[in-house]
Structure 1
């Protein structure tokens, strides 16, 4: 089968399409015939060498939508099931940007019924990161939240999920994105920060750091979207970061929210697997609204 990997770190030209053996599922694993998978900033970071590596080829891709093709022992799925899954990891020899991928059975969820595979392939990584970040905050309905990078994929999901929970959301993004951010459920909008100590919490999807922290009230909470990216605590503010993890049960909840119209899946463009380097170059150029999706 074909798969996108990096053997040496660098720019988009470092992405290679190689022929490798089709992986076999072990106990409590499933093999998915990949229909689509989004390209995310984490793929660009891996390609550039920000996570290091052992010198062996590293697979690209975390998101997958497709069809269960084979099941291992004690895997509660059937061949032919339509699923989405998160294959989390930055040093694996194969990722989801391939024709087939093996994931733990409990990382998969039934795909949303109301969208195609290309759109479903944008859900796992960014929506799971958003909901797990909100869980860290433990905000009650009526609380106030600033989401930086609210027009981005993860930030957009965070705005929708928080609004669905009854949280008052202010979205931060470029001025040109105000209509989009408000359409996602933000009641307020800013291109900068907010007044000091004005919100209960910040979800820092844009990784602004300390300038965004200033907007949190004394004793509030700040969550960075980058592991280890949170600033030091000040004024009693609890600062932490979200480390996304695969969770099929939570992903099934998110898929249901797609079918209920709570979550919007945004596709900015599609590329064949052989065009993976082009997708990397476009994402690296910035300004993409929605996700670029590889279709093997």
Structure 2
């Protein structure tokens, strides 16, 4: 799936390109599933500015689930036919996964979770790595309280489970239809509102120790954080200005093999929940983008080449 110009979903086209060959430290993956994320919509729309100059044919996509098809020199830890998941560091490399084949360095790959179909497996890397790396930035200790906005979304759902795994108390902020899902993950539910900071304070009167703002609410949610707490957002380029000594930051997820391997193990242990995504053949990519842009698709949107 490629773009030659920026705009609405109709600029997305399927094109025949040469099959890529792996170099040193790389493998070629026959793609079985590739997730679509808001980053793809932002890139397609032309909102990345100088980072994405018009002219080259870009292949979009960061997440992949598939099978190793060819191995480059010096690769000894992956084998042909092995099922893998991975995350392309697309903003840096512009190597997209929404294709029949993609070549990626082994440092961004891990063995796929056992007994998991490719489509749900493809929803793991970017969302779960974002959640994990955001929690690392927040640096909370077991027993402290974390609020997660957009807690039923792709990043938010993983954040709730990973935070609980770290021994944190979790308040999940989401729509009323998601209460049962979030309480089932072990979170205290808070219904989203026009004043999320006040809603969080009702659940934690002294304020929470940190917020992972996966809904990109921004500065208004800081009212729910105690003095000296922490905030991490998922929307670059910059976080809200610090108030009352609250640390503020933004997570820019990176594909890292060691962390992705840990996340796969948590899936296999039943500590991370992979939800069934909505799938589309790659030829229906414009429809898939439209679906994702409307929101509310809890399991994510995945292309099948």
Q: Give the alignment's TM-score, normalised by structure 2.
A: 0.93
- Structure 1 gaps of 5+ residues are none
**2:39, 2:260 → 1: CA distance?**
19
Partner residue, 1:222 = 231
Aligned residue among 259, 262, 279 for 1:270: 279
SS in 1 for 2:286: helix
The root-mean-square deviation of aligned C-alpha atoms, in Å, is 1.3
Aligned residue among 201, 214, 221 for 1:205: 214
1:69 and 2:60 matched = no
Partner residue, 2:59 = 59
The C-alpha deviation readout for 1:23-81, integer Å capped at 9, x for no partner, is 11111111110011111111111111111322212211110001111111112311111
Residues 179, 189 of structure 2: 8 Å contact kept = no
SS in 2 for 1:19: coil
1:255 and 2:255 matched = no
Q: Which moved more, 1:137-146 or 1:187-196?
A: 187-196
**1:74, 1:197 → 2: CA distance?**
54
Partner residue, 1:42 = 39
Residues 123, 302 of structure 2: 8 Å contact kept = yes
Instruction: State how 1:172-211 maps to structure 2 within 5 Å.
Output: 172-192=173-193, 193=196, 194-195=200-201, 198-211=207-220
**1:93, 1:109 → 2: CA distance?**
20
Q: Which moved more, 1:144-153 or 1:227-236?
A: 227-236
Instruction: State how 1:125-164 maps to structure 2 within 5 Å.
Output: 125-164=126-165
- Structure 2 gaps of 5+ residues are none
Q: Give the alignment's TM-score, normalised by structure 1.
A: 0.96
Partner residue, 1:32 = 29
CA shift in 2, pair 1:209/1:93, >3 Å = closer
Residues 170, 190 of structure 1: 8 Å contact kept = no
Residues 234, 251 of structure 2: 8 Å contact kept = yes
**1:268, 1:77 → 2: CA distance?**
27
SS in 2 for 1:243: coil
